[in-house]
Structure 1
Amino acid sequence: MDHSPRFLKLCDEIRANVKEVTTDEIAARLAKGDPFALVDVREESEFAAGRIKGARHLGKGVIERDIEKAYPDTSTEIVLYCGGGFRSAIAAETLGRMGYTNVSSMAGGIREWKGKSLPLES
């Protein structure tokens, strides 16, 4: 995907201050049944086209509005993902500003997940 230079600069600045996890870490944790909230922040149409099994949809456009209803405990472990790891990093930074203390962004997003032929559901 071709992102604008200002968007990439913003994302680089944010990613320096956000915890990132790898697709391999998340795949292993899901396989073990580790408890954590997996949240897909992509657009509804992207989510409908395919997602990581067990993911909940809270699009980046509404996550700030809806997160407290979905996860009222601000210490809940939340892993966010998007298409490539940019939107999820921005959302993770925002949730941190809202008081959530255990939020991470899955680097590489679902594109990397698909590239490794990891399981998806539709």
Structure 2
Amino acid sequence: MAYTEKFQQLADIACGRVQAVQPEQVDQLVAQGAVALDIRDKEERDCGHIDGSMHISRGRLEMDIEGKIPDLTTLIMCYCNANNRGALSASALKDMGYINAQYISGGFLKYRKLKL
């Protein structure tokens, strides 16, 4: 998918601000208490998601996160289909004080590919 230049610049900055989790690590981290946070739209999630993941769409993230994950030290692994929205979400969570906000590198598409 082609993105606008300004959007991609924002996403690239976000990728540089937050740590990426490799898809191979996700299941183990979830088993240890980390939260896989699906920030895609409902229609995208309905087509598949990481088992046990929490869903808060990107448009509601900052409004809803504190009620769903009040502990600012929780390891939160944001994901979209690829990288950009996941990294942007993790960066926003860091700005809100979530010190362990990260994104899943390659997003759901790369995670799903590993599972096939």
Q: Do these two structures clear the TM 0.5 threshold for a shared fold by scoring above it? A: yes
Counterpart pick for 1:62 among 60, 84, 93: 60
CA RMSD across the alignment: 1.4
Listed as ranges, the gaps of 5+ residues in structure 2 are: none
Q: Identity over the aligned pairs, expressed in percent?
A: 29
1:45 corresponds in structure 2 to 43
- C-alpha displacement at 1:83, in angstroms? 0.7
Instruction: Detail structure 1 runs of 4+ shifted over 3 Å in the superposition.
Output: 27-30
Query: Within 2, Cα distance between the matches of 1:7 and 1:95?
Result: 18
Query: Within 2, Cα distance between the matches of 1:29 and 1:14?
Result: 22
SS of 1:38 mapped into structure 2: strand
Query: Within 2, Cα distance between the matches of 1:53 and 1:62?
Result: 21
| CA shift digits 1:63-88 (9 cap, x unpaired) | 10000000111111111111111101
SS of 1:94 mapped into structure 2: helix
Query: Within 1, Cα distance between the matches of 2:113 and 2:3?
Result: 20
Query: Within 2, Cα distance between the matches of 1:73 and 1:35?
Result: 12
1:23 corresponds in structure 2 to 23
Listed as ranges, the gaps of 5+ residues in structure 1 are: none
Query: Within 2, Cα distance between the matches of 1:18 and 1:102?
Result: 9
| 1:112 lines up with 2:110 in the alignment | yes
Distance 1:45 1:15, change over 3 A: same
| CA shift digits 1:49-102 (9 cap, x unpaired) | 110100010110001000000011111111111111110110111111111111
Query: Within 2, Cα distance between the matches of 1:110 and 1:13?
Result: 21
SS of 2:11 mapped into structure 1: helix
- Give the alignment's TM-score, normalised by structure 2: 0.92
1:83 corresponds in structure 2 to 81
Query: Within 1, Cα distance between the matches of 2:113 and 2:26?
Result: 15
How many pairs align? 116
| CA shift digits 1:3-26 (9 cap, x unpaired) | 222221211111111111111121
- Give the alignment's TM-score, normalised by structure 1: 0.88
